[in-house]
C-alpha cells in the first residue's frame, strides 16, 4: 500500500464573499439625462436676481445718448425743474434707464412732489444703487442705475408713506414705457 503523502492542504475555502449582485440586476444606471421635453419654455428675460453690469467708454456713451442725457447720466448733471419730460407724466407704465434700459421705477410709486422732477417713493428692488454724495457742500444720497452706473438723481427722506422716501429723478435719465 502506498502511503499517499498527504500534503496538508489547507483548503482555504474561499468563502465566496459573494460579490454577487442581489437578486435583480444592479444596473440602475439608467441615466435619464434631463433633455426632457422642454417644449415652449420661452427663455425668461434675465431676471432681476443678478444685475450684470454694463461698462462702456465715455466715447460710446456720448454716441449713444443725447447731449442732455449725457450731461445728466454721465456727468451727474441736473435738469432744470419743470423742464423734463416726465415730472408731469401720469400715465401707467415703467420708467427705464435711458442709457441701458433697466427697469428702475414703477408709475404706481410716482407721486406729486411739487418739485418739478419726477418723484417716486420706491424703486424696482435691486435696480438702483445709492451712494453718498458730498458735492455742493452737503451730504446727499445719489441714486444710480445699478446696471450702467448712470446718475439718476438723489433720494431724500421727506417722501410719503409707505416708505417716507423721495427719489428725485431727472427725466433725462429715464425712458418711459407706457402700458396700453
Q: Is 148 in the site for Zn ion (CB under 5 A)?
A: yes
Q: Is 147 in the site for Zn ion (CB under 5 A)?
A: yes
Comparison of 127 and 160: residue with beta carbon closer to Zn ion:
127
Comparison of 85 and 160: residue with beta carbon closer to Zn ion:
85
Residues that bind Zn ion (rule: CB under 5 A) add up to a total of 8
Active site residue 168: yes
Comparison of 35 and 153: residue with beta carbon closer to Zn ion:
153
CB atoms within 10 A of CB 153: 28
Collect contacts of 49-55 with beta carbons under 8 A, ≥24 apart.
51/102, 51/126, 51/127, 51/146, 51/147, 52/147, 53/147, 53/148, 53/149, 54/100, 54/147, 54/148, 55/148
Single residue of 74, 84, 96, 97 touching Zn ion by CB under 5 A: 97
Angle at CA 119, nearest 5°, toward 159 and 134? Answer: 75
Binding site for Zn ion (CB under 5 A): 97, 99-100, 102, 145, 147-148, 150
Catalytic residues, by residue number, are 168
Amino acid at each position: 500500500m502506498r502511503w499517499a503523502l498527504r500534503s496538508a492542504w489547507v483548503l482555504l475555502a474561499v468563502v465566496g464573499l459573494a460579490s454577487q449582485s442581489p437578486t435583480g440586476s444592479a444596473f440602475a444606471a439608467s441615466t435619464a439625462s434631463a433633455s426632457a421635453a422642454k417644449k415652449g419654455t420661452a427663455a425668461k428675460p434675465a431676471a432681476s436676481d443678478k444685475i450684470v453690469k454694463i461698462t462702456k467708454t465715455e466715447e460710446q456713451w456720448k454716441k449713444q445718448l443725447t447731449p442732455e442725457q449725457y450731461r445728466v447720466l454721465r456727468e451727474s448733471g441736473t435738469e432744470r425743474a419743470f423742464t423734463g419730460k416726465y415730472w408731469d407724466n401720469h400715465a401707467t407704465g415703467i420708467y427705464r434707464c435711458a442709457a441701458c434700459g433697466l427697469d428702475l421705477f414703477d408709475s404706481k410709486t410716482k407721486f406729486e412732489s411739487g418739485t418739478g422732477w419726477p418723484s417716486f417713493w420706491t424703486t424696482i428692488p435691486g435696480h438702483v444703487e445709492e451712494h453718498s454724495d458730498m458735492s455742493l457742500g452737503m451730504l446727499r444720497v445719489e441714486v444710480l442705475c445699478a446696471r450702467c452706473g448712470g446718475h439718476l438723481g438723489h433720494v431724500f427722506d421727506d417722501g410719503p408713506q409707505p416708505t417716507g422716501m423721495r427719489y428725485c429723478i431727472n427725466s433725462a435719465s429715464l425712458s418711459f414705457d407706457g402700458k396700453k
